[in-house]
């Protein structure tokens, strides 16, 4: 199996950068880390798995919320140390309740932030 280069060392763990992108709209939904085991589980199941640096463990995207990511395509960058999962997002990708984690727009002068999207789910009801 061809795999990314897991060359980023975070807390002694070898990781690659993983980007989740909507396969139809090309909207970037989230950025995470992935280790070899999470990558293999993603390939085996066709659903995105990542490595949580804060919890120091693999997590299946949607394990708590049910908002899974079905992988439609996998892209590797030129150094093979970053991947893009082109995915079908079920529900929202962001734990805040937004479809994408990138729902804030910073003004070009760096002085103002505006929210660019509405909630697609209530995180207080989803994460009890």
Give the pLDDT score at 127.
86
Domains observed in the chain: 8-119 (3.10.20.810)
Give the pLDDT score at 67.
96
User: pTM (2 decimals)?
Assistant: 0.93
Cα–Cα distance measured from residue 106 to residue 115, given in angstroms and rounded to the nearest whole number: 9
Q: Per residue in 43-98, pLDDT tens?
A: 999 999 999 999 999 999 999 999 999 999 999 999 999 999 999 999 999 999 99
Quick one: CA torsion of 66, 67, 73, 76, rounded to 10 degrees? -100
Residue 128 has pLDDT above 80, yes or no: no
């Amino acid at each position: 199996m061809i795999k990314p280069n897991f060359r980023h060392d975070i807390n002694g763990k070898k990781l690659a950068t993983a980007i989740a992108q909507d396969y139809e709209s090309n909207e970037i939904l989230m950025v995470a880390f992935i280790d070899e085991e999470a990558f293999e589980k993603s390939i085996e199941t066709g659903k995105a798995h990542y490595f949580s640096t804060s919890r120091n463990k693999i997590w299946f995207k949607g394990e708590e919320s049910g908002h899974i990511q079905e992988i439609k395509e996998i892209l590797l960058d030129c150094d093979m140390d970053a991947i893009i999962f082109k995915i079908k997002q079920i529900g929202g990708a962001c734990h805040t309740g937004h479809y994408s984690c990138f729902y804030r727009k910073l003004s070009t002068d760096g002085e103002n932030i505006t929210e660019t999207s509405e909630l697609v789910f209530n995180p207080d009801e989803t994460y009890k």
